[in-house]
């Protein structure tokens, strides 16, 4: 029997900041953790890597009290603890920046940052706004952010909300008397290079008085900012490496049990033929609130990347082509027919598919099943007349689960229980089940996905291009845009400022694109 050490029991002088021993967690049909061991030493940054479904998210949730393990131990500074809630974890000095974001949108930035630990910011049940603002500003200053503490959170961009999340978790310094353990789950997924640099500066500062667990699918980032990297595979501890001197390929090999593919972007899958003389998509003078006079051509079977810094307008152009963002001028045609940009229903009817960047909030309905999410925009595909035919639906969904290798216990499993990579494949399948998609708009389709899942998405994109689908790609990185695109359009300050050819064997460098972006 494991005995819980009392909170005031003295910890060994050399005890790790955080330790996990033999952690086990079962979910229906899935063994998410299978005897995981992990050690986080005092004043170090530990990287955590693994494919989607490797158990990283379950482990992190156990460390902040959101999941109760079935077996195993969690020790904080040598003392065994039972973490039953986020507040319980915070009392032990453990805080986490969540990938999905945990801010309350209708509250101010300041209210979100001090939520649950207002201290002198509240007197007599009322906010002291000057004090509240000062408390929040103190945290924002640590990460070099210029966000207004009194701004409503729902008016901020995704990237700015992520910076608020980071500022919020730093408040744990005031809550616990112990050196904190800060968990950063995919903190850089939507940040620009200068914001990433600022974050890494903060992570290195945190090392001086805290311990950090850093999770990212960008293996080069993990090796850059971490001291050691632990790898999970299939719910088990696969091993660890010292970051200094290691290469991304070393981690990739441990994650999937094989050497990284020499053709990460599956360029060999591309059946290149001469592009049709007439573009499938023609955009002229498209103008909206954040972009002006944008011209864009995309041929059938072509992947065109759009790159630009945060605020360049490229995301809004993509949304506008799907009818999700208002336009004030310009026109677009698809296969020579005028496109109705007034709404998403018209875009779907025209054969346009859209995979949004914020998968959790815009791309799927978490409590709904895999089947319902997959057929969300293709209700007729599972019906005979006005009635749903369960057998027809089951055959169709199971076909695409098999074709895309979607790992799910069953078609009726809620999509929210799947790993990020498998969720993304369900979202992509939504546009393929009807067989009528002509233009696919992909807004950061690999955001938050591990190396293996990214590779599967890349292969699917190649296969769709081979079938004649025209694709607009807003990539997760310049390297991804270069590797996957046939041509690259650069946007700056809401305008398309340059076009760069990116044929196989003649790819531009990231520096070539950066010169056009700034």
pTM of the entire predicted model: 0.61
**Has residue 130 got a pLDDT over 70?**
yes
- Regarding predicted confidence, which is higher, 27 or 84? 84
Helices 451-466, 248-256: axis angle to 10 degrees equals: 90
pLDDT of res. 361: 82
2-6, 150-154, 217-221, 467-471: least confident range: 2-6
pLDDT of res. 149: 93
d(CA 171, CA 340): 48
- Regarding predicted confidence, which is higher, 29 or 290? 290
**Residue ranges with strand state E in 320-427:** 327-334, 337-338, 352-355, 383-384, 387-388
pLDDT of res. 210: 85
Domain residue ranges in the chain:
43-50+91-256, 278-351+437-518, 366-433
Cβ contacts of 194 within 8 Å, gap of 6 or more: none
Q: Give the sign of the dihedral formed by CA 60, CA 65, CA 70, CA 75.
A: positive
pLDDT tens digits, 429-453: 888 887 789 999 999 888 777 777 7
**Has residue 376 got a pLDDT over 60?**
yes
Average pLDDT over residues 473-480: 86
pLDDT of res. 141: 85
Average pLDDT over residues 314-320: 94
d(CA 1, CA 247): 42
pLDDT tens digits, 70-83: 999 999 999 999 99
pLDDT tens digits, 254-282: 887 654 444 567 766 666 556 567 899 99
Q: Are 427 and 355 in contact (CB under 8 A)?
A: yes
Helices 158-169, 129-142: axis angle to 10 degrees equals: 100
Please give the CATH number for the structural domain made up of 278-351+437-518: 3.40.50.300
E strand or H helix at 77:
none
d(CA 72, CA 336): 63
Closest CA to 261 of 454, 447, 403: 454
d(CA 153, CA 160): 9
Mean pLDDT of the chain: 85
Closest CA to 81 of 20, 169, 14: 20
Average pLDDT over residues 9-23: 77
d(CA 390, CA 241): 49
Strand partners, 282: 297, 333
* CATH fold match for the domains 43-50+91-256 and 278-351+437-518: yes
Q: Are 310 and 493 in contact (CB under 8 A)?
A: no
State the DSSP code for 120: G
d(CA 209, CA 44): 9
Token code pair at residue 255? 């994650």
Average pLDDT over residues 341-368: 89
d(CA 501, CA 518): 19
Residue 195: CB atoms within 10 Å? 21
pLDDT of res. 384: 62
**Has residue 3 got a pLDDT over 70?**
no
Closest CA to 447 of 320, 367, 362: 362
If you classify domain 43-50+91-256 with CATH, what class do you get? alpha beta
């Amino acid at each position: 029997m494991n005995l819980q050490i009392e909170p005031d029991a003295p910890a060994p002088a050399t005890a790790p900041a955080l330790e996990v021993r033999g952690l086990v967690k079962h979910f229906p049909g899935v063994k998410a953790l299978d005897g995981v061991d992990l050690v986080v030493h005092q004043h170090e940054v530990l990287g955590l890597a693994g494919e989607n479904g490797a158990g990283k998210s379950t482990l992190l949730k156990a460390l902040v009290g959101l999941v109760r393990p079935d077996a195993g131990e969690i020790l904080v500074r040598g003392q065994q603890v039972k973490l039953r809630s986020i507040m319980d974890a915070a009392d032990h000095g453990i805080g986490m920046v969540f990938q999905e974001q945990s801010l309350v949108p209708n509250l101010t930035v300041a209210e979100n940052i001090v939520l649950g630990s207002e201290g002198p910011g509240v007197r007599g049940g009322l906010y002291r706004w000057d004090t509240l603002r000062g408390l929040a500003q103190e945290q924002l200053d640590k990460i070099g952010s210029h966000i207004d503490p009194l701004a409503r959170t729902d008016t901020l961009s995704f990237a700015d909300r992520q910076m608020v999340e980071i500022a919020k978790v730093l408040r744990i310094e005031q809550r616990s008397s112990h050196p904190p353990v800060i968990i950063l789950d995919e903190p850089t997924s939507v940040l620009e290079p200068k914001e990433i640099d600022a974050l890494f500066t903060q992570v290195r500062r945190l090392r001086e008085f805290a311990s950090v667990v850093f999770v990212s699918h960008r293996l080069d980032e993990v090796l850059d900012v971490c001291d050691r990297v632990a790898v999970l595979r299939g719910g088990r501890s696969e091993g660890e490496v010292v970051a200094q001197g290691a290469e991304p390929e070393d981690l990739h090999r441990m994650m999937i049990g094989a050497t990284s593919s020499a053709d990460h972007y599956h360029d060999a899958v591309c059946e290149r033929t001469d592009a049709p003389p007439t573009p499938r998509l023609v955009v002229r003078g498209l103008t909206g609130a954040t972009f002006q006079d944008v011209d864009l051509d995309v041929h059938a079977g072509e992947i065109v990347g759009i790159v630009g810094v945060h605020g360049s307008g490229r995301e809004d152009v993509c949304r506008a082509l799907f009818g999700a963002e208002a336009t004030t001028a310009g026109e677009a045609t698809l296969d020579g027919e005028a496109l109705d940009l007034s709404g998403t229903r018209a875009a779907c009817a025209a054969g346009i598919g859209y995979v949004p960047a914020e998968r959790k909030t815009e791309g799927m309905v978490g409590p709904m099943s895999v089947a319902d999410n997959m057929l969300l925009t293709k209700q007729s595909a599972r019906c005979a007349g006005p009635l749903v035919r369960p057998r027809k639906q089951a055959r169709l969904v199971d076909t695409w689960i098999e074709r895309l290798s979607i790992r799910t216990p069953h078609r009726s499993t809620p999509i929210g229980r799947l790993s990020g990579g498998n969720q993304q494949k369900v979202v992509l399948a939504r546009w393929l089940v009807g067989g009528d998609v002509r233009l696919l708009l992909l807004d950061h389709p690999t955001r938050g996905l591990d190396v293996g899942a990214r590779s599967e998405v890349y292969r699917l994109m190649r296969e769709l291009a081979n079938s004649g689908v025209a694709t607009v790609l807003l990539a997760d990185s310049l390297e991804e845009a270069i590797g996957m695109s046939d041509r690259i359009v650069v946007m700056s300050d809401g305008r398309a400022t340059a076009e760069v050819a990116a044929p196989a064997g003649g790819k531009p460098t990231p520096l070539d694109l950066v010169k056009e972006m700034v």
